[in-house]
Amino acid sequence: ELSSWNLLTRTKKKYQFKDFRLTLLWILGIIIRYALFLPIRYKYIKCLKLNAIFCVISLSYLLRLLFRLQRKLHNFAYLTTFRTLARANRAKVGGVCVTNHASPLDSVVLSRDRCYAMVGQKQGGLLGILIKSIMYNKSHLLFERSEANDRKALCRRMKEHIKDDTLNPLLIYPEGTCVNSTGVLLFKKGAFEIGGTIYPVALEYDLMFGDIYWNSLAKGWLKYLIGIFTCWGLVCNVHYLPPAKIKPNETVIAFANRVKTEIAKHGQIPNLPWDGQLKRLNVKKSFRLKEQEFYSKILKTE
């Protein structure tokens, strides 16, 4: 349940409190969002965003023929596309930008300021076509799920990347999956053990206007986009935090937790120790036993 209702979705449970006036307000909101917002935004997307996608696809294929101007033109097409889509202590060459992750649109928000080399899994469908068109450049590290399981191979590719002064800084989402804005979950240590300077960024979304969280297990990319186009709006505060480096005698895990704490603090998001992949996996038996022991102690004291 949301901490405050933004007149969007209703609870899937049976309504415990029925109010006629609130229901009328909710119905009026549906009419406004789907009869007014959706057509206007669809027309805007059709005129601007689809043209931007067409332009970047065309430029992407043209860049393959223009070797000398490839990098400058790619950066121009990259920034133009994301500035059209999104309408601001940034990561520098040889560094790694890390942030909390709620949606693929996080990259749109961050890429309005500078070009990044993104680390992510290859996708299929409409999202995959868009990613391939924008990220065909070899500086991006796109991998198959089977390769993602080989942490050493991916770590080696990232280390080679940050040593090259001609490549853009890496953009990594250490949580490894999209997480709703009610918490910053466990950071994987891969981004913090490759060396280089870490540039933390905290993305703080305002849920009063719309929920940007994409749960790929519950809805596909097209259904998610429809929800985005029909919400009241997307408001995000971007907090660029001071660069961080691992301290002497500090472990990689401690370094990752320190950066995670700073992101949660400045983004005003609860700092939680859970692994985001739990939404795809069954909870470990050891975790269940630990919670059972905790509650049994509470019962004994009472």
Give the tens place of pLDDT for each residue, 145-188: 655 556 677 788 888 888 888 888 899 999 988 888 888 999 98
To the question of pTM greater than 0.85 for the whole model, the response is no
Mean pLDDT of the region 241-269: 92
**Residues 103/212, Cβ–Cβ less than 8 Å:** yes
Residue 44 has pLDDT above 60, yes or no: yes
- The per-residue pLDDT for 123 is 67
Residue 24 has pLDDT above 50, yes or no: yes
Hey, is 282 helix, strand or coil?
coil
Which one, of 48, 9, 74, lies nearest residue 226 by Cα?
9
Mean pLDDT of the chain: 79
- The per-residue pLDDT for 226 is 87
Q: What is the rounded distance in angstroms from the CA atom of residue 1 to the CA atom of residue 13?
A: 10
The sign one gets for the Cα dihedral 256, 261, 266, 271 is positive
The phi and psi torsions of 199 (rounded to 5 degrees) equal -115, 95
**Residues 177/148, Cβ–Cβ less than 8 Å:** no
- The per-residue pLDDT for 260 is 95
Angle at 192 between CA 140 and CA 124, to 5 degrees: 35
- What are the Cα distances from residue 42, in Å, to 3, 46, 252? 30, 6, 46
pLDDT for 201-230, tens place per residue? 999 998 888 888 888 778 888 888 888 888
The CATH classification number of 84-301 equals 3.40.1130
Q: What is the rounded distance in angstroms from the CA atom of residue 234 to the CA atom of residue 209?
A: 6
pLDDT for 270-290, tens place per residue? 999 888 877 777 777 887 888
- The per-residue pLDDT for 150 is 64
- The per-residue pLDDT for 22 is 77
User: Running DSSP on this structure, what letter comes out for residue 246?
Assistant: P
Hey, is 186 helix, strand or coil?
coil
- The per-residue pLDDT for 83 is 62
String of DSSP letters for 35-103: IIIHHHHHHHIIIIIHHHHHHHHHHHHHHTT-STTHHHHHHHHHHHHHHHHH------TT-EEEE--S-
Those residues whose C-beta lies under 8 Å from the C-beta of residue 235, and which sit 6 or more positions away, are 205, 206, 208, 209
- The per-residue pLDDT for 88 is 45
pLDDT for 64-94, tens place per residue? 666 556 677 777 777 777 666 654 477 888 8
- The per-residue pLDDT for 203 is 93
Those residues whose C-beta lies under 8 Å from the C-beta of residue 33, and which sit 6 or more positions away, are 230, 231, 232
The sign one gets for the Cα dihedral 47, 50, 52, 55 is negative
Between 131 and 102, the higher pLDDT residue? 102
Residue 35 CB-density burial (10 A; 0-12 exposed, 13-18 middle, 19+ buried): exposed
Helix (H) or strand (E) holding 159: helix 151-162
What is the residue extent of each domain of the chain?
84-301
Q: What is the rounded distance in angstroms from the CA atom of residue 117 to the CA atom of residue 75?
A: 11
